[in-house]
Structure 1
Amino acid sequence: MTKRLLIVAHAPSPNTQTLCDAAVRGTRHPDIEDVAVTVKAPLEAGPDDVLACDAILLGTTENLGYMSGALKDFFDRSYYPVLEEKQGLPCALYIRAGRDGTGTRRAVESIVTGLRWRWVQEPLILQGEWQAAFADEVEELGLTMAAALDSGMI
């Protein structure tokens, strides 16, 4: 049975689009057999997408020490419609942080705790000046999520 991984990633710049593309590339590793991936920007994603997925990977920029307004909007529209049905949903997060990312992490973790979603790994914070290695880290995160979903570990 094919599992469904939803990637909701805010990508307002070429670098953040590179991160989103890297996440998708990781999910499409040749060893991943039964995982269908849907990628949506936060303003395009909604509760129906969450209800239809088996795991979710979130990506956001750090904006003024907080998550992107677009990701916050996604949570505002999706929170109550998915609250009861998606408890335990495996999730992961990457943050492109110009500063330290802690405020962004705290904000997303607070919402995820309320939703009762389940972290599959610690949030990945990509902080400071842009580094090409950030894409490798996000690709590995995408691969890890898809492989765990494919194998039934999550």
Structure 2
Amino acid sequence: MDRKKKLLVVSHAPSPNTLTLRNAVAQGAGHEDIENVEVTVLAPFDAGPDDVLACDAIILGTTENLGYMSGALKDFFDRSYYPCLEKTQGLPFGYYIRAGHDGTGTQRAIESITTGLRWKAVQEPLICRGEYRDEFEEQCRELGMYVAASLDAGLF
């Protein structure tokens, strides 16, 4: 039997709401119809280059902090960038931002780093803007399900 494909979720979740969003991504990715994908969920400080090198796709999650990604996700990128630079080109990825404002600075920062890594965006960025709404959970669940199901189907 072929090995299971590995989906890594690296998400900063400093509040109950952001933890709910991270759990929704993991729940979607672990949908019962997705059979050949193993999902690993890590906080940015717990994830590193070895985790990225071992995965087949990645979903990133962050809060918008002063118009930028969380310091925790930036630290993850700082530690992972050069060890992964030549070895993960084309890595399929998606991401979501929990933005109290508009999320554009955070989006720009993530896109700048992932462009440098030459990762391949497989889903439009999910930006959960403004006051927290329950619909964010379903959107995050769908993001996780889409990336995992596409990985399972061999689309990337």
Q: Same fold (TM over 0.5)?
A: yes
In the TM superposition, residue 30 of structure 1 has moved relative to its aligned partner by: 1.1
Task: Select 1:9's aligned residue among 11, 20, 24.
Answer: 11
In the TM superposition, residue 132 of structure 1 has moved relative to its aligned partner by: 0.5
Root-mean-square deviation (CA), in Å? 0.4
2 CA distance for matches of 1:28 and 1:66? 29
Task: Select 2:153's aligned residue among 147, 151, 154.
Answer: 151
2 CA distance for matches of 1:28 and 1:113? 28
2 CA distance for matches of 1:16 and 1:30? 23
Counting only pairs closer than 5 Å after superposition, residues 5-44 of structure 1 correspond to structure 2 as 5-44=7-46
2 CA distance for matches of 1:122 and 1:114? 18
Aligned equivalent of 2:51: 49
Q: Helix, strand or coil: the match of 2:46?
A: coil
Q: State the AA in 2 paired with 1:94.
A: Y
Q: Helix, strand or coil: the match of 1:59?
A: strand
1 CA distance for matches of 2:130 and 2:93? 24
Question: What are the Cα deviations for residues 62-104 of structure 1, in whole angstroms up to 9, with x where unaligned?
Answer: 0000000000000000000010010000000100000000000
Percentage identity across paired residues of the two chains: 68
Q: State the AA in 2 paired with 1:10.
A: H
Aligned equivalent of 1:64: 66
Q: Helix, strand or coil: the match of 2:150?
A: helix
Aligned equivalent of 2:103: 101
Q: State the AA in 2 paired with 1:40.
A: L
For structure 1, the residue ranges without an aligned partner over 5 or more in a row are: none
Question: What are the Cα deviations for residues 22-53 of structure 1, in whole angstroms up to 9, with x where unaligned?
Answer: 00100111110000011100011000000000
Counting only pairs closer than 5 Å after superposition, residues 85-124 of structure 1 correspond to structure 2 as 85-124=87-126
Q: Helix, strand or coil: the match of 1:43?
A: helix
How many pairs are equivalent? 154
Q: Helix, strand or coil: the match of 2:45?
A: coil
Runs of 4 or more consecutive aligned structure 1 residues displaced over 6 Å after TM superposition: none
Q: Helix, strand or coil: the match of 2:138?
A: helix
